[in-house]
Each structure stands twice: as C-alpha cells, then as structure tokens.
Structure 1
Amino acid sequence: MPPRQFDGKRVRAARRGMDLNLDELGAEVGVSGPTVSRWENGEDHPKGEKLPAIAAALGQPLDALFPHDGPADLQLLRCDAGLSVAQAAAIIGTSRAPVSNAESGRRRLSDAYVLPLAEAYGVTEAVLLAAQDCSFGLRPAASRHEQAPAPRTIGEKINYLLEHGYAGQEAPSDDEIARAVNAHAGEAVITVEDIASLRTGATTDASDVVRAGLADALQVDAALFQNDAEVSPAAREFLEAIRFLGSIQRGQILGLAARGNGGGLSTEMMATINNLVGELRHKLPEVQDGD
C-alpha cells in the first residue's frame, strides 16, 4: 500500500471535476486508462511515488487528496519526491538494498548517502534523519507530547473528520457529501466541485445552509461548522476522541500496548475507552449497538 491514504472514489470525483477521462489522467501519470479504472474501483492502488503526479494532474494539494498520519518516514519522503526505490538507489550509486533496508527499519543509511538523498527528496539532512528515525519506530521527542493544532477552516474540519471519523469504514466521497448536503437543504446548494474546493482550501467560506448540511452529512454537531474560529474545548475533545478511536480501530493503540508490555492495556484504560465509546456512539457514523 502507498504510505498515504488512497481513496479511489475521491480520485474519480476529482477526475470528473477536471473533465478528464481515464486515458487522459493515465497519460499524465504514466499509466494506462484501465489501470486508473482499477485504482478508482478499489481493485488496485498506485505506487506511492505516483501520488504526487496524480494530485498535480487533478489540481489538488497532495496532503488534501492523499492524507497521511503522523510524522514523515523515509518511504513517505521518497514517494513525495516522485521517486521509486530503484531511482533513489541510482542517485546514491548503489543497489536497492540500502534504500529498502533503511525504509523498513533494518539498517540505517550510510552517512555518505544522507546528503544526496536529502537533496533528491527536497528536504534538509535534519529532516531526512528525523524521517529515518521514524522508519525505525522512533518519534522525535517533541512530537510525542505536541498536540496537533485544531482544525479551523471548513476544509480542515471536513478533512479531519474524513481522516479520523471513519475507522473501519469507507469515508464518503466528495460526491456523496454534496448529495447529502443537498438532501438536507432540500435543494441544490452545493456541487461536488464545491466540496473539493472547500477541502483543498480554494474556497474558504460557505453559507449557513451548507454548513448545516455538512454537519448533517458528516454526522457531527452543527456547532462544529458554525464558524471558522478555533473549535471550542468541548468540540476539540470530541475531535481528539474521534482520532483516538480511529487509532484503536487501526490497531495503533493496541499494537503500541503489545510492544510496551505483555499485559496490553490496563483495566482502567479499557474502562476509559468503553466509556468514551458509549459517550460518542450516537455521534459516530453508522455505528450500531453490539459493533
């Protein structure tokens, strides 16, 4: 899988919004139209180094179209530079082994490789070394305690909810969000292109009707979309809880517990999680009792 999240339905909506057919998008990124079709239908996924070209062809920021969790590791830096393992290896004049071993956390890069790879990836040596630490399971000390900034704009809130609010489920596409907003409003008040513009930051404002529809479509309290100021402490707690539950669903929290101690999560922590699930159950999308 690519190091960034890939949603074929979102790519399809963005492609149609750009009036590109499958062959035209494929030509932009160096693949065939049928290959793009398999990506969009979920039958296959592109290599990570293809994602920057796809985002550029669709006129969208890479982070908005293909988000990723946590700090960058070596694989993410390479893919974001649009380079394959073989191409990165050619830059430092070696076989694929040093690049692959570093990305998989088996053997660190030789000092002689750090500067040329950093330059090829378009980052500083310090950034590349920090990414290498991440590939070896080490996070920078500061990032262990820093809290990510709360989403402020409409687009940031949409992206946050799409990224963290649908663990174990498929997040709605721009087209599905637009249809849900229009259904809530009882008339056509927004298009799929408008949703894409909000998510990418090309548009930063929306009517009260659209804001209310977005809250309904993403199944959160309407207050979350009332303005673009930083969210209230209560809303921030809700958003962080969504991210926390998403981490549990993806196995990140439980995996960390398993590595940290033989007993896994404590009884107290499990009780806290269960209480949190109970409090949020009615707010999370498509969650039924007993799931």
Structure 2
Amino acid sequence: MPARRFDPNRVLLARREGGLKQTDVASYVGVSGARVSSWETARSVPDPEKLRRLAEALRHDLDDLFPRDGRPDLADLRADAGYTQAATRELTGTSTAGPVAAAENAQRRLAEEYEPILAEAYGVSVEALRRAQDRSFGNDVPEPGEAALGAAGPEAQLQRGQGGLPETLAEKITYLLDRLPNPLSDAQLAALGNDRTGREVLNEDLVRGLRTGEVSGAQDDVLNALAEALDTTPLIWSQDADVQRIIGGTMLLRGQLSAIAARGGQEEGLPADLLDFILHEVDKVRSEARDGHGRPAQP
C-alpha cells in the first residue's frame, strides 16, 4: 500500500509552531511523551493508524502533514480513520478481524453487509470503499474522472471548459455510480439493469469486471442494461467526442439547475422564466435539426 510520508522534522516544527509540549501531543494521541520524542528524533515511526490523531494534535491536515503517493487501499482507509485491524471486529460485529484482514490481504472480498458499516466508520462513500478494495486486490482503479480529467474531477473541469466525461468504460461507470443518490453494489446494479430491460444480461461478476476495468468492453445489450440501471442514456458509452461533450455539458447543466432550485428552499423549484428559456432553446435546436435534414425552413 502507498504509505504516508513521515518527516520527523516537520512534526517537530509543527509542534513548536503550535506552542505544544511533547506531553500535550502524547496525551492527545494516546502514547507516552517518550514515544513522541522518538518520533521527532527518527528513532521510530508512528503506526499508520496514529497519524490522523497526530496530525489533529499538531493542528494540521492529515494529507498536508503526511502526504501519500498513490491511491489508498482498504488498509489505508482503515489507518486514516484511526482503526487498528483488530478494532474492526467491533465494527463488523464479528469475533475476529477476519473479514477485514482477508479483504486487506486480497484473500476474500468483504461481505456486502459490511460495506456500508465500514464506509461510515472510515468516513468515505461505499463506492470509495469498493475502489479501495479493488486496489487491495491488485487493481489500481482511478478515482472518478481522475485519469481523463485530473484530480479536480469532471464537474470542475467542465466548468472551466477543459474536458468532458471520463474516457474509459470503467471510469464512466464509476463516475455515474458516484452521482447516484444511493450507493449500489455490483449485484444490485446487475439486478436493476436486468429488471429494467426485462433481460438477464448482467451478473455481479460482469459488472465488477466492467467497473474495475478487468473487462474493457461489452455487447450493446449489456451496455443498454447498464445505462438503464445507472439512470442514463446508452449514448454515454459512445466514442463520439461531440456526443460526449454534449452529454457532459448536460450533466453539468443539471447540477447547476439543481443548485438554483435549492436556493431559498426546495419548494420554490426553478424559476418559470428559466424553464421557459431552456424549453425554447431546445425547441430551436429541434427546428434547426429538422431544417438541416431536408425540410424547408419556415420564412
């Protein structure tokens, strides 16, 4: 896993700048003053699960004080939340830490019932937990839109006019999953797609393979079922750059309209004149498209 970088000099400077004693830091982290001294003099390094409390004690952000190169796996998420592996048995309600240990060691994936419990404890979404689990199993999946659009994310890039949707099928599935109001597991996504299309074309393993990039492509009936389950259009899988820009722009517009609708209370909705303008522009595009396909324009 990509360990966080620990610099004893930065810890020492941060403590002195904050006017803190070693005993102050030790008390907050739950260790002895001698242990803090050994960290500052590079005689030892804190356990990963102590870094969050240490950063909090020094009044610094965890990522700023102890940056990490690479994307987190399951063990990283656990450590960042301050849990030892043994402590997770209280979260899962099991007699041992076996379920978490097995997933972190790429032996057996987490049971679906543990996902929301651990995600809440770790302070991440269920989808972020699944991506971390995929990395524990050797598949370094990117964060939504990361590979295609950079760390700022697809919405931020679209707002600056610098890009569109994520490029690969796996990235698009992850991007769409993160936009859903409620998380869906691979099994739930497969069942929903099959139900909405009335065809048994999806299964949990196929969805996981497509989502993680282990499977790079699929037949149209599979992609159509995925689009139905993700509440989107099958055109989202298109490779046409113009189509992708339009869909990406429309998704951005939807987010902006939702923000406007939320101003001053949900019951107010969108201003009527704004809705009229949007519908008018759509009608104009339809009219222009008809005129461009051989129908005579009206004078």
Could you say which structure has the greater relative contact order, defined with CA pairs below 8 angstroms and 6 or more residues apart? 1
Which structure has the larger Rg? 2
Question: Shorter chain as normaliser: what TM range?
Answer: 0.3 to 0.5
| TM-score, length-scaled by structure 2 | 0.47
TM-score, normalised to structure 1's length? 0.48
